[in-house]
Chains A and B, each alone.
Chain A
Amino acid sequence: MSQLKKEVVKAEEGEVYDVELSEDLLKANQRLAEKNKQFLHENGVRAIDVMGSIGSGKTSLIEKLIQMLKGEYKIAVFKGDLTTTIDAELIAKHGVETVAINTGKECHLDANLVKKALQKLDLEKINLLFIENVGNLICPAEFPLGSDKRVVIVSVTEGPYMVVKHPFIFMEADVVAINKVDLAKPMNVDVEKLRKDVTIVNPKAKTVATNCRTGEGVQDIARALELRETVLFG
């Protein structure tokens, strides 16, 4: 007959416990991003996350897209930067609601910052949101924000190796804009080679050559983002 031992087993002082956790710290951002996406959809808003190196043309692309789509969509923009509201002010000049998100030191936007910024918008008044991420080809890849599409802009002035050096962010992209193509010759950069590199890394991504100063290629970006109907030739 077994008896309950009288002495209760107690933890000895100084005994080490091994506690299993399995807590993925990056998952927290992913969960928040999903919530952001749901919230945006519930309010009929489509969101586009725009990423790319410093000076690649993120703001220019957004400005050109706003000029093109202002009549068809009610647009708002989140502009992420470490500090200053310089770009946010440029964008606001187009007459769209702009929220500047200053990250302080963080080199990327995250779902939490986007959630906070969403609270500053009256979502009933908009149906298209551009989120301009901080200039960076590395960290934003790990931090989804809850957008419907992710655009990565790479400019020819960054040289020919950007895709080869940073493949993982291109794996996150739905659309890749190869910008400043008017400068490809003086830069000795082969735009088609960059396109091919993107397609090797991510066969799903749509690539578009652009010149965001003149607006060349921006219509194709809008179509690739499904913001405009694709023109079908019979």
Chain B
Amino acid sequence: MTSQIVQSVLAEAEKRGAKKVTEVDLVVGKLTFLGLEQVQFAYEVLAKGTILEGSKLVIEEQEGVVKCDKCGYKGGFKYEDDPLYHVPLPTLKCPQCGSVVSIVAGKECTIKSIKMMI
């Protein structure tokens, strides 16, 4: 995933004839399983020798958001307590009306913006 990020940024920077990239703003959904520290580390390694070297990778986490077509609820997941293990379990039940919701945010890995020197 990190090499995809680096490739995408390089492609965009090259398209604009940038000399150097100073910052990349990334939005990572909480439902993806990207290890943020690993991404940071891999980013530094992959950026070496490219115009991304030395640039800052700023990662913003996006919470999971669900939407209910029945009652219009849009917001965080409902969590139910597992009675045996006392672990809060995220559910696809609407916190408002109990119908099944769909996930509308939290699964992305989006390059929001790139700061570059032309």
Chain A interface main SS type: mixed
Contact residues of A between 8 and 26, Cβ < 8 Å to B: 11, 14-26
A21-B114, A203-B100 known; A138+B33 contact, CB < 8 A: yes
The answer to whether A17 touches B115, judged by C-beta atoms less than 8 angstroms apart, is yes
* B contact set with A: CB distance below 8 Å: 1, 4-5, 8, 12, 16, 18, 22, 31-33, 80, 82, 84-85, 87, 89-93, 100, 103, 107-118
Residue of A nearest to B114 (CB): A19
A68–chain B nearest beta-carbon distance, Å: 30
The answer to whether A22 touches B110, judged by C-beta atoms less than 8 angstroms apart, is yes
A19-B12, A197-B89, A203-B100 known; A168+B109 contact, CB < 8 A: no
A138-B33, A164-B89, A203-B91 known; A24+B116 contact, CB < 8 A: no
Chain B residues contacting A24 (CB-CB under 8 Å) are: 108-110
A47–chain B nearest beta-carbon distance, Å: 21
Chain A residues contacting B8 (CB-CB under 8 Å) are: 23, 25
The answer to whether A201 touches B112, judged by C-beta atoms less than 8 angstroms apart, is no
Instruction: Answer whether residue A200 sits at the interface, using C-beta atoms and an 8 A cutoff.
Output: yes
